Chains A and B, each alone.
Chain A
Amino acid sequence: MSIERTHQTRRRFLSNFAFASGAIATGLGSWVIRPDWANAAEPPIKVGIATDLTGPIGYAGNADANVAKMVIKEINAGGGLLGRPLELYIEDTASNESVAVGNVRKLIQRDKVDMVLGGITSSMRNAIKDPIVVRGKTLYIYPQLYEGKECTPYLFCTGPTPAQQCDEFIPWLIKNGGKKFALPSANYVWPHLLNEYARKVIESNGGEVVFEEYYPLDQIDFSATVNRIMTNKVEVVFNTVIPPGVGPFFKQLYEAGFQKNGGRLSCVYYDENTLNINQANEIEGLASCLDYFKVLTRDDPVSAKIQSAYDKDFPGNFLFAAGSAATGTYRGLKLWEAAVKEAGKVDREAVAAALDHAKIAEGPGGPAEMVPGKRHCKMKMYTAVAKGGNYEIVGRSDGLVDPKEC
């Protein structure tokens, strides 16, 4: 009898618990930003943003949400799209795929948004693409740099691909570092696929991969790795270890004298946020290759305008940085705007057909255009080197770099 009663209370406890966690998971974390004007004849166009506002990569998700607020505000101030104002729906994906799928369904089923932009990690994209594209029959734009090979119809990628981050960067590294590469990596999909591509480029340019090694995502001691790098006389470290491991790794490399011996550190997701993980002297000379660096604002008036508009609206911790997908978000929204204008309506088929070849003349880092039939984006790429806690641009692509996907 007593056993039965404990069972019952436990079951009740569990169901209450499940209810409470469900309420927490779905009730909070929704924001609607309504335009300050309306079109009497037609309802507003609904834009959905699903991004990681909370959790370990909350700094990136908040930056993306901020960019969306800024762009939507700008479009509304300019008279909206097709004469209709835009309404912004922001949902938290909370760095948790199961929470994310529920919240994305809310965007699709409850709010009936016309387009969803968001997701930062590849696992998040894979979790939410099906609810959006297949079951939700909605357009999906993914803004982050990633490992490539995402060829789902109605899914458009506006961040850099391995080809864009390696084709110009690795020859530069060989010229300004050396031929002996080490590829220390976190053990998940992005480093595996990026390394596969990088290895091809390294070898076709006469370089050599001394070792390619994968570590648990939470590993924070890299003494064995650093030792291998030092004893094998590696000249270029092409790093895809991610936080929290990357800070201690770079520190240990520095302390072992890697840079002092002429070694070149490189990491293709390094932007203005990640600069702060280490002290400036520990990562002096680190090279990165992205579609945007803040230092570009000095000689590119368009970038300067976007950056200062962002900084004015959102001063604080959430930086407008390429590694956070902030630039991909900007590009994605602007390309979608161009596509809607061309299509003259917001239904998925028409917008996807127009987005397939959409172009924008002005974006962070330069113009951008979709490659027809590929659902990936051509953009300018920049190579930058860390100097005294800032970046210095050392290389620019001649024109728009091809993503070489799909």
Chain B
Amino acid sequence: MANAFVASFEILSFGAIIVLVVLGLGIIASMMGIFNFAQGEFVLLGAYVTYLAYSKGLPVWVGMLAAPFLVGALGFVLEALIIRRFYAAPIVAMLGTYALGLIIRECVRGLIGGLYISVPEPIGGSIDFGAVHISAWRSTIIAVTGVVMAGCYLLLSRTSFGLRVRATLENPALARASGISTSAIYGAAFAFGAALAGLAGALIVPVFSLFADLGIRFLIQGFVAVMVGGVGSFIGPVAGAGVIGTLSAALPWVMAPVVADVLVFVLAIAFIKFRPQGLISGKGV
């Protein structure tokens, strides 16, 4: 019983981490039809901002609060300067974002000297239920993921801004004809996606420590999650992330980890083969 509880908590917490990382990626992919290869590096930048605040003697949570805003602002600038020029050619855009990611990653590697650096969590230690210990910070991440997901959902489904975003997503030409500035919406969406990645990075850095390849670690899983979930909606990638995160945390409990690692991708490929539109195909929010 205690064992099952620990297992489900750990699986849930890793699922939440993947959802958090994929959220921004999914929004950008769904909104703009661009697979942002720099998304992992936005996660890395969020982590780096948190570390920077900590190393300057500020409390860690200050860095965590600042990270989404700083990374979002950077995303906004990058969209206006670079990404915007590639909307007509999604493949080129993908390569462009890959280059951006590479530049950011190697800059951070230089700045931290290629080392692995620990950043303490603002809420450390573990919560004890008798003999069972669960990590306080992972619990916090689960809670924050829930709040962020609910917030995003409400923003997209209940506000007039959300309506305009969805209109732009559904039919950009008609949206423009109706007086919606689609380029402003694109800019905002990219910045928002980047900000979510920044937040994800800030929250996960105490768990995984800071290193230059932190973001790229999640990139492949993120893409698979978006493919499985289905491009074109907000819910799709989130659902995909939930599935992939849960699978990759759950399978090692029942089989050799090396096999589990491969099996997640095999299952995903098989799934996409039989349901290419993904779990939830562009309907609803």
Contacts and interface: CB of A to CB of B under 8 A. Distances in A.
A223 B9 CA distance: 10
Nearest to A243: B116
Nearest to B7: A227
Contacts of A274: 116
B213 interface: yes
Given A221-B14, A227-B6, A257-B126, A59 B217 contact: no
A221 B209 CA distance: 13
Contact of B113 (A214, A216, A251, A317): A317
B89 interface: no
A243 B261 contact: no
Interface string A220-239: 11011101000100000000
Given A218-B217, A255-B126, A256-B133, A279 B118 contact: yes
Interface string B212-254: 1110010000000000000000000000000000001100110
A22 interface: no
A248 interface: yes
Given A59-B114, A223-B14, A244 B135 contact: no
A279 B133 CA distance: 19
Contact of A224 (B116, B120, B253): B253
B211 interface: yes
A244 B217 contact: yes
Most buried by A among B117, B207, B248: B207
A243 B211 contact: yes
B106 to A, nearest CB: 9
A215 interface: yes
A74 interface: no
Given A224-B252, A247-B116, A216 B213 contact: no
B144 to A, nearest CB: 18
B126 A56 contact: no
B209 A252 contact: no
B217 A318 contact: no
A259 B139 CA distance: 21
A278 B248 contact: no
A257 B126 CA distance: 9
B213 A56 contact: yes
B118 A278 contact: yes
B135 A216 contact: no
A219 B256 contact: no
Interface size class of A (residues with CB under 8 A): 35 or more
Interface size class of B (residues with CB under 8 A): 35 or more
A213 to B, nearest CB: 7
Contacts of A318: 113
Contacts of B11: 223
Contacts of B126: 255-257
Given A213-B256, A248-B207, A248-B208, A221 B249 contact: yes
B170 interface: no
B209 A248 contact: yes
Contacts of A219: 252, 257, 261
A75 interface: no
A311 to B, nearest CB: 16
Nearest to B124: A279
- Smallest CB-CB A-B distances: 10 pairs: A223-B10, A317-B113, A247-B209, A224-B252, A58-B114, A224-B253, A255-B135, A216-B261, A277-B116, A215-B257
28 contacts: A56-B212, A56-B213, A187-B258, A213-B256, A214-B258, A218-B217, A219-B257, A220-B208, A220-B217, A221-B14, A223-B14, A224-B249, A224-B253, A225-B252, A227-B7, A227-B10, A231-B3, A244-B116, A244-B214, A248-B208, A248-B209, A251-B207, A255-B135, A276-B118, A277-B118, A279-B118, A317-B115, A318-B113
Interface of B: 3, 6-7, 10-11, 13-14, 109, 113-118, 120, 125-126, 133-135, 207-209, 211-214, 217, 248-249, 252-253, 256-258, 261
Given A231-B3, A277-B118, 15 more contacts: A56-B212, A187-B258, A214-B257, A216-B258, A218-B217, A221-B14, A223-B252, A224-B252, A225-B252, A227-B6, A255-B126, A255-B134, A274-B116, A276-B117, A277-B116
